[in-house]
Amino acid sequence: MSTLIVPCVGRKIMNGIPQYLNRHPNGKLLIERSIEGVFSDKYRRVLIVLLKEDTEHFDAESIIVQEVKGYPLEFVLLDQMTSGPAETVYQAIQKANVTEQVVVKDADNYLKTEEVPQGNFVAGLDLNTWERDVHNLRNKSFLIVNEQGNLLDIIEKRVRSDVICLGLYGFKRAADFVKAYEHLNDASYPISKLYVSHVISYLIGYSGRVFRYVNSIAYENWGDERLWKDMQRDYTLYFIDLDNILGSDGILTESNKEKLEVLQNRGASFIGYTVENEEFKISALNILQEAGLSFIKIIYGCPYSERKELIASDEELERKVIEL
């Protein structure tokens, strides 16, 4: 059995609260979205590492307990900010008395791997085969992988390969992490901020540990403002004018089908509307379902007005009334 550690002490504030307490477009807290892609019944414990400040000012622990169900959650509370990610993991291992295999997962992304990894491993993404853009590469760690699928090295914040690290790391023995961190934290090492990647590099180079590369098949990142906006764009709710998309004959062209599929596959949702009657709605729904397109709802009997607007706040509603 393993322990999954999810550090949430990076002090990323979004919408006035810690980033991990914001909601994914699917409605779940980001912390749950981060966990769900990698969780399996092989994990005996899931340690959420928080700053005490977040529990006092934002009620973080209570909110997570109330909303995130189905995981063996435990909380490790830190009195103050650590010097870096490696120290955060080190303190979590020590405070929670972790002695078994440990897996560390970044809180600001979602990923799913080809297999449920065990032992020493690092999850990554091959940029040669990944079809979507990955932004801000200079802030990534890069993996050097040999032909056998083993890591030769992991390099922080410098482009050295076509494979990036996604922030999921496995250690067969928690004691390996502890000993390596304590060596690296010595004053003789000129590293001011220790990352988990530094610990792995040390274990490979000085302790002879073998770390396996694990490929990821799904990936989302909301780690900065641009990435957050990109994800919101992917999960846009579109209002589709079916009178134009299907035409007067009620036919979905192959071209329109393909374009809607692209949006849907990236996470988009659809609500359709039409000026026609319920009979047209039922026919349209059948056409769309046969094409593999999922619509939340189709609204029929809409007015012929050429202007449609979305009002999403009290302020917008007031402004529209003033503009009359």
How far apart are alpha carbons 8 and 108 in whole angstroms?
9
**pLDDT tens profile 29-54:** 999 999 999 999 999 999 999 999 99
Q: What is the pLDDT of residue 179?
A: 96
Per-residue pLDDT reduced to its tens digit, 196-236: 999 999 999 999 999 999 999 999 999 988 999 999 999 99
DSSP structure string for 124-174: EEETTT--S----GGGSEEEEE-TTSBEEEEEETS--SSEEEEEEEEES-H
Kindly tell me the sign of the dihedral angle through the C-alpha atoms of 18, 234, 242, 272.
Answer: negative
- pLDDT of 101: 97
Domain ranges across the chain: 2-228, 236-323
Residue with tokens 């995981």: 71
Mean pLDDT of the chain: 93
pLDDT at 11: 79
Predicted confidence (pLDDT) at residue 137 exceeds the cutoff of 90: no
The pairing of beta strand 17-18 with beta strand 121-126: unpaired
β 121-126/212-221 pair status: parallel
Pairing verdict, β 163-171 and 101-105 = antiparallel
CATH of domain 2-228: 3.90.550.10
Q: What is the pLDDT of residue 43?
A: 96
Q: Residue 192: is its pLDDT beyond 90?
A: no
Beta carbons of 278 and 308 less than 8 angstroms apart: no
pLDDT attached to residue 136: 74
Q: What is the largest distance, in Å, between two alpha-carbon atoms of the chain?
A: 77
Query: Residue 77 pLDDT more than 90?
Result: yes
Tell me what the mean pLDDT of segment 56-65 comes to.
97
d(CA 310, CA 273): 14
Q: Tell me the C-alpha distance between 179 and 38, whole Å.
A: 26
> Tell me, what amino acid is at 30?
L
If you average pLDDT over residues 129-134, what whole number do you get?
83
Residue 292: pLDDT over 90: yes
Tell whether the model's pLDDT for residue 157 goes beyond 90.
no
78 closest CA partner among 11, 177, 32: 11
Q: Which of 85, 73, 90 is closest to 174 using CA atoms?
A: 90
Q: Round to whole Å and give the CA distance between 33 and 68.
A: 10
Q: How far apart are CA 269 and CA 201, in angstroms?
A: 43
Q: How many residues does the chain have?
A: 324
User: What is the mean pLDDT of the segment spanning 73-87?
Assistant: 96
Q: Which residues of 235-269 are buried (b: 16+ CB within 10 A; e: fewer)?
A: eeeeebebbebbeeeeebeeebbeebeebbeebbe
pLDDT at 316 exceeding the cut of 80: yes
Q: What is the pLDDT of residue 248?
A: 77
> Given this model, what pLDDT does residue 314 score?
94
Residue with tokens 């934002």: 58
Residue 115 burial class via C-beta count within 10 angstroms: exposed 0-12, middle 13-18, buried 19 and up:
exposed
Residue 138 has pLDDT above 80, yes or no: no
- Side chain identity at residue 89, one-letter code: V
pLDDT per residue as tens digits for the range 233-246:
999 999 999 999 99
Residue 123 reports pLDDT greater than 90:
yes
Residue among 299, 301, 113, 92 at smallest CA distance from 178: 92
Percent share of the chain, pLDDT over 90: 83
Query: How deeply is 50 buried, as exposed, middle or buried, from its count of CB atoms within 10 A (0-12, 13-18, 19+)?
Result: buried
Distance CA 1, CA 42 (A): 5
Look at residue 190 in the predicted model and tell me its pLDDT. Answer: 72
According to CATH, what is the number of the domain 236-323?
Answer: 3.40.50.1000
Q: Which of 82, 90, 72 is nearest to 3 (CA)?
A: 72
Q: Determine the average pLDDT of the residues in 287-307.
A: 95
Among 33-37, 306-310, 313-317, whose mean pLDDT is lowest? 306-310
* Other CB atoms within 10 A of residue 276 CB: 18
- pLDDT score recorded for residue 247: 85
172 or 138, higher pLDDT: 172
